[in-house]
Copies of this chain bind each other. A is one copy, B any other.
C-alpha cells in the first residue's frame, strides 16, 4: 500500500505543499479552491460542484492557512471563501489508483484457476461476482463455466458484466462450422492472434465467446496478454515501440455493402501515455507513409510483435468446452484459435461485444454496496 502523501502547511506566506521525496511541491490555490469539501458548494449525494469550475478567479490566492489538528487545516482565499479541509480527503484526491485493482501482465505461466469462475455463483453471489471482476480487471479475461447452452444466454451474461454493444454483426454473432462446409464463414482454418474490429469507432471494448457445441479435438482457443508482450518489445526496441505508439495506421474493412476506415496507432495508450493494449489485425492494417528508414523500424517492430504474440511462452491455449464462456478485453488480450477438422463434428460458438467500462462500473457498485452494509453494521 502506498504511503499517504504528507502536507506541509505554511502560515506566512500562506501555502500548502506536498512532500514529494526530499522536495516540497506547492499546491496551486486554484486546485485547492476547486476541491472544496464544503456542504454548501457540493451536492451531497453526487458530490458534484454546485458551481462551474471556470467560475473561479484565475488570480485567486490563499490569504490564510492555519493548522487545526493532525488531519485538518483552515484555509481562506482571496475570493472570501473560508473552509476547513480534511487533509485525508485531499490525500485521497491525489490517489486515483485506490478504487480499482491494477493490471497484472501475465504469460503462459498464469494459473488458470485464477480466471475460472462458476457462472451461477457469479450471477447469484455478490462476493463471487466481486472476485470475478477483480480477476478480470487484473488479468483482462475470465473463463465462466456452467453457462447453459440454450440460445441467447450470452446476452444474459453480457448484461451482468456491462452493456451489450451492437455492431454490423448484430447484437450477437454465430461462429460455426459444418462437416464439408466450404463457405468462408464456415472455414475451420487456424486464426492467428488478433483483436477484433480495429476499424470501428469506438473499437468494441470486451468480447464474449460462448461455446454451445464442440465435437472436435482441435479448435483450441488461444489468448495472449499484449501488456506482457509490449513490456518485452519496449525493452528490445524502444524506437520501434515509440513508432507503433505514435504513428496512426489505417485499418479498413470492406464488404459488398459497406466500407469502414479508421486511422489509429497500433499501440493504444491512456492519456498518460501508459500502454493499455493494441489494435492488431495483420490482414487489415496498412503501413503508414514514413521514410524508408522509419518504415523499416516500424515494420521490424510490427513483425516482432507478431512473433511474440505467437510465442508459446506468452500464450494460454485451452479447449473451450460446451457450456464455457470466455470474456476478454478486446484491446488488451488477443485471441485466436488453432485449426480443426470439421469432419469430426460440429463446433458452434456465439459471440458478442460489451462496452469497456461495464466491469469497472459493476465493481465500483459492489464496493459501494459493501461500504453501505458496513456503515449500517
Residue positions of A touching B, CB distance < 8 A: 26-31, 34-35, 45-50, 52-54, 56, 58-59, 93-94, 96, 99, 163-168, 192, 200-202, 205, 248, 250, 252-265, 270-272, 282-287, 289-292, 295-296, 299-300, 302-303, 305-307, 355-357, 360-361, 364-365, 367-369
Flag if B201 contacts A357 (CB, 8 Å): yes
Complex: A276 Cα to B260 Cα, angstroms:
18
Partner of A287, one of B28, B255, B283, B285: B28
Q: Which residue of B lies closest to A51 (CB)?
A: B283
CA–CA, A59 and B257, complex, Å: 38
Instruction: Find A163's partner among B165, B365, B367 (CB 8 Å cutoff).
Output: B165
Q: Could you say how many copies of this chain the assembly holds?
A: 2
Report which of B200, B261, B364 forms a contact with A259, defined as CB distance below 8 A: B364
Quick check: A165 and B53 within 8 Å, CB to CB? no
CA distance A252 to B43 in the complex (A): 13
Instruction: Select one of B45, B262, B264, B355 contacting A255, CB under 8 A.
Output: B45
A364-B28 contact given A94-B289, A163-B166, CB 8 Å threshold: no
Other-chain residue from B94, B201, B256, B270 in contact with A248 (beta carbon distance below 8 A):
B270
Q: How far is the CA of A3 from the CA of B29 in the complex (A)?
A: 54
Residues of B within 8 A of A368 (CB): 256-259
Measured CB to CB, the closest approach of chain B to A115, in angstroms, equals 22
